[in-house]
Amino acid sequence: MIVLARLRNIANYRGFIGGSVRREFQQKYRNSLLGAAWSVLNPLAMIVVYTVIFSQVMHSRLANSASTSTFAYSIFLCAGVLHWNLFAEICSRGQNVFLDHAGLIKKINFPRICLPIIVVCNAILNHAIIFALFTLFLVVSGNFPGWVFAAIAPLLLLLVLLAIGLGMVLAVLNVFFRDVGQFFTICLQFWFWFTPVVYPASVLPAPVRAFLGWNPMAPLIVAFQDVLVEQRLPQWGSLLPAAALAILLCLLGMQLFRKHAGEMVDEL
């Protein structure tokens, strides 16, 4: 009943959420000559750079890969970087969401849970634009994976849940302990290089590769690369620990938020 009441409350503020997402997207490109076109040009430039530099100039190839495409390494990089950036954006912006909107929280009475939802919606919108361009590149270059592409949807859902759960926990803790945000920013940099985003896990020494099992993002990024590069279904069993952690973090985040929502206003 509590969950249904919260969902109903959030639904009543859908106009506020939608307006905030639209306003933030517009403000991002305000006073620029090309406006929202930059949302297409920036990711398009990134895809072109990866393709030209790594495929055509450096002639980079993936070790132990079944893919024979000239663009295999470029696709590998995009598959890892695009989805890591989505995860990092939700976590990084989520951890500061209550601090950044302290004035709004103090002045207006609304469900505070709307703020993390706005962060997630904005991150997904940004990701959708660049991923649509990346998908177009796959089609044009003849590297579209076919029906296995449908596996991207549950993988994205798991990634977003993991990021939301971690972001919510950090957001509440960061209100009371401001060092949490600074510490996580540093951790995120190490986390990126400990995840096979720009390198295949197979190049790591066996002892180091064993530690990847403790990194919930490693099998998730590898799953995206399996679908988009190797054009095969991911190993769903390897994602079970990440799914369990995502559910646990979401429950913990909601519990912390529900317990400390009143105290946060005083701290802010």
Q: Is residue 11 part of a domain?
A: no
Residue 188 counted as domain residue = yes
* Total count of domains within the chain: 1
pLDDT score for 45: 73
Look at residue 147 in the predicted model and tell me its pLDDT: 94
Assess if residue 23 is contained within a domain. no
Task: Report d(CA 238, CA 215) in Å as an integer.
Answer: 11
CA 63 – CA 114 distance, rounded (Å):
45
Residue 111, domain member (yes or no): yes
Residues 177-215 as b/e (b if ≥16 CB within 10 A, e otherwise) read eeebbeebeeeeeebbebbbbeebbeeeeeeeeeebeeb
What residues have CB less than 8 Å from 67, skipping those under 6 apart? 75, 229, 230, 231
The answer to the question of residue 28 being in a domain is: no
Q: Is residue 40 part of a domain?
A: yes
Give the range of the structural domain holding residue 72, as residue numbers without chain letter. Answer: 36-267
74-111 per-position pLDDT tens digit: 888 889 889 999 999 999 998 988 888 777 777 777 67
Q: In which region does residue 109 sit, left (phi positive, over 0), alpha (psi from -120 to 50) or beta (all else)?
A: beta
| The pLDDT of residue 3 | 56
Q: Which of 82, 90, 98 is nearest to 228 (CA)?
A: 82
Examine residue 15 and state whether it is found in any structural domain, yes or no.
no
User: What single-letter amino acid sits at 95?
Assistant: Q
Q: Is residue 211 part of a domain?
A: yes
For residue 158, the model assigns a pLDDT of 96
Residue 233 pLDDT: 94
pLDDT < 50 positions in the chain? 59
Q: Note the pLDDT of residue 148.
A: 95
For 178-190, the pLDDT digits (tens) are 888 888 989 999 9
Q: Under a CB-based contact definition with an 8 Å cutoff, are residues 98 and 112 in contact?
A: yes
